[in-house]
Amino acid sequence: MPNLTTRDGTRLRYKELGQGRPVILIHGWPLSADSWDPIMMKLADNGYRAIAYDRRGFGRSDHAPSGYDYDTFSDDLADVMKETGATENVALVGFSMGGGEIARYMSRHSGKGVTQAVLVSSVVPYMLKTDDNPDGVPQSTFDEMTEGMKTNFRHFFTGFFKDFYGDGVLRDKVYDEEKHWAWTTTMMASQYATLQSAAAFATTDFRPDLSSFNVPTLVIHGTKDETVPIDATGRQVAEKVPGARLIEYDGEPHAVFATQTERLGDDLLDFLGRN
């Protein structure tokens, strides 16, 4: 797989399929660009150039000693766009933590080159429960996650992926092999990067970034998402970003890229075709 080097010297692995209008897909925590493979193939088959990259510290990208904050993440995205030549009429699609890169890119880099944005099960605009964000996740939950990852990193993610993929929510469960892949992929990541990135998506307030969404925006979110609650995220974006379109996947958990792959691909193609 090809690699590129960011402005601070971090090597990022990326992949692409197809030709045509560029669609950049940003993966969630704690996975890799490979989570987008079925969607990339569908986009390529329908005339798009699909690009996905491993976030620093994850997948096959460098385990950088620093840069696990959204300013740096958005700079990495800008460098991916520049190095791949995907600089005009670009659609950005971010899953979970990846939605934060889009929000910060839209504000920090003025959305340069972007004409559409898609937030899938995204952490935007604010995950943490506060007095002015009552539907958020309590700090105690994030503290428990941090302690679990520090105490027994590998064991923690065995339990984490049960909620991630909706065990106990879906009648037709995700195959065990899918969860095994997710666990194995997570073990490729830097433990330091995993912890630092979790702190970033848990505490970064993207509400000031919302005013920078001046392009058509699609929000997709499962109503039974226990990892990133829809009331604090997807529904808030739909309410606060003018013209944003919200599609709720009734009864679906966080990992809709795996539980509703075909529907997600169809909804993306429908939205992209409106540009």
| Nearest residue to 51 via CA among 96, 8, 9, 83 | 83
Active site residue 225: yes
- The single-letter code of the amino acid at 140 is S
Count of beta carbons in the 10 Å neighbourhood of residue 38:
14
Q: What is the DSSP string of 37-100?
A: HHHHHHHHHTTEEEEEEPPTTSTTS---SS--SHHHHHHHHHHHHHHHT--SSEEEEEETTHHH
The residue from 32, 96, 122, 212 that is catalytic is: 96
What is the Cα 121 distance to its own chain's centre? 8
Which tokens is 130 given?
A: 């506060």
The residue from 75, 76, 225, 267 that is catalytic is: 225
Structural contact between residues 95 and 35, judged by C-beta atoms closer than 8 angstroms: yes
The residue from 54, 197, 221, 254 that is catalytic is: 254
Active site residue 96: yes
Active site residue 254: yes
User: Strand 114-120 and strand 245-249: pairing?
Assistant: unpaired
- Residue 124 backbone dihedrals phi, psi, to 5 degrees: -75, 140
DSSP-assigned beta bridge partners for residue 139: none
Which tokens is 262 given?
A: 């075909």
Pick left, alpha or beta for residue 241 (phi over 0 → left; psi -120 to 50 → alpha; otherwise beta).
beta
Which residues does the annotation mark as catalytic? Answer: 96, 225, 254
